[in-house]
Amino acid sequence: MANERNRIITIANQKGGVGKTTTAINLATALAAIGERVLIIDLDPQGNASTGLGIGRRDRACSSYDVLVGERSIGEAALQTAVPNLFIVPSTMDLLGLEMEIAQRGDRAFRLRQALQTEEAFAYSYILLDCPPSFNLLTVNAMAAAHSVLVPLQCEFFALEGLSQLLETVDEVRRTVNPSLDIQGIVLTMYDSRNNLAQQVVNDVREHLGEKVYHTLIPRNVRVSEAPSYGKPAILYDLKCAGSQAYLQLASEVIQRERRRKIAA
Ligand code: ADP
Ligand code: MG
């Protein structure tokens, strides 16, 4: 990706329920809270990021589907959320039909990238793409449009196996649609310190992936799981809870790494 005017991060893991959406919402909120202008693009037909940020079905007249088919621009589809500086392009079930509709087009993998190569998209300093739990044309569009992939990994037995599949996918994407796709980092989620296996997973993942793994561990926390039903990021719902504090810490790690990357570039 040539553009360095913003940072586009896709939050991906082909497994469902590992904390992608929770990470997208809370990382975005934390970045917005320190003054970054942030956009989430909800690419999951389930629309959990949209719901979790309080965007009701009625407010989704314009969605990521419209952007991908080229009927709307990012600026037209982005909605302000209750969090200052945080915007979202919501999703609808229409996304389920997208694959069929654009399958024959030569540019099918690059629909999102095209939409993001615009002044409207450059107005955000961070764009986070919340992916569905599968490897399909939506995920390919996200990986083709992004500078990097951030991988939430649940601390459980098959975590490493899932991770190696994902890293193979990233290699495939580099060979085909986006040679400069970077790994932003791996964040371990739903960590339970009382569980010995979780500690083992943390050790294994750190051993294999080293510095790509964030120091911050996101703990399993009830307040984090309650927040979406109030249409709020955990950070707004209960700033003091351990989960919110962990997401703030993750945001500061993301920013520190970005600073280092820019200095090295
Ligand atoms: P994904 O987007 O990967 O499918 P979600 O972010 O939707 O995963 O998380 C799956 C479920 O786990 C949701 O119900 C969410 O509220 C819950 N959850 C996510 N992170 C945490 C956490 N740190 N502590 C407790 N529950 C969590
Ligand atoms: Mg999700």
Residue whose entry in the numeric block shows the structure tokens 């039909």: 97
Exposed / middle / buried, residue 162 (Cβ in 10 Å: 0-12, 13-18, 19+): middle
Instruction: Please report the atom of ligand 1 found closest to the CA of residue 228.
Output: 16
Confirm whether 81 is domain-assigned.
Answer: yes
Mean pLDDT by 10 residues, the chain (265 residues): 82 96 98 97 97 96 97 97 97 94 93 97 98 94 98 90 92 97 97 92 92 97 98 98 98 95 87
| CA distances (Å), origin 96, targets 49, 59, 76, 99 | 16, 19, 21, 7
Strands 38-42 and 79-80: unpaired
* Residue 196 domain boundaries: 7-264
pLDDT at 228: 97
Instruction: Give residue 63 CA to ligand 1 midpoint distance, Å.
Output: 23
Confirm whether 2 is domain-assigned.
Answer: no
- DSSP for 22-63 reads HHHHHHHHHHHHTT--EEEEE--TT-HHHHHTT--GGG-SS-
For the sheet containing 86-89, what is the strand order? 79-80, 86-89, 38-42, 126-130, 7-11, 148-154, 182-191, 213-219
Confirm whether 122 is domain-assigned.
Answer: yes
Confirm whether 199 is domain-assigned.
Answer: yes
Determine which residue's CA is closest to atom 11 belonging to ligand 1: 17
Confirm whether 54 is domain-assigned.
Answer: yes
pLDDT at 236: 97
235 lines ligand 1 (CB under 6 A): no
pLDDT at 84: 96
- Phi and psi torsions of 154, nearest 5°: -80, 140
| CA distances (Å), origin 177, targets 48, 133, 142 | 27, 20, 11
C-alpha 56/C-alpha 231 separation (Å) is 9
pLDDT at 99: 87
Confirm whether 1 is domain-assigned.
Answer: no
Kindly list the protein residues that place their beta carbon closer than 5 angstroms to ligand 2, a single-atom ion.
20-21, 48
Instruction: Give residue 264 CA to ligand 2 midpoint distance, Å.
Output: 33
Confirm whether 100 is domain-assigned.
Answer: yes
- ipTM of this model? 0.99
Instruction: Please report the atom of ligand 1 found closest to the CA of residue 130.
Output: 2
CA nearest to 254, candidates 169, 179, 149: 149
228 lines ligand 1 (CB under 6 A): yes
Based on the structure, what is the number of domains in the chain? 1
Give the CATH number for residue 193.
3.40.50.300
Sorted by sequence, the CB contacts under 8 Å of residue 148 that are 6+ apart come out as 7, 8, 9, 10, 181, 182, 183, 184
C-alpha 230/C-alpha 131 separation (Å) is 22
pLDDT at 4: 80
Name the closest ligand to CA 15: 1
Confirm whether 182 is domain-assigned.
Answer: yes
Structure tokens at 33: 């809270």
Exposed / middle / buried, residue 119 (Cβ in 10 Å: 0-12, 13-18, 19+): exposed
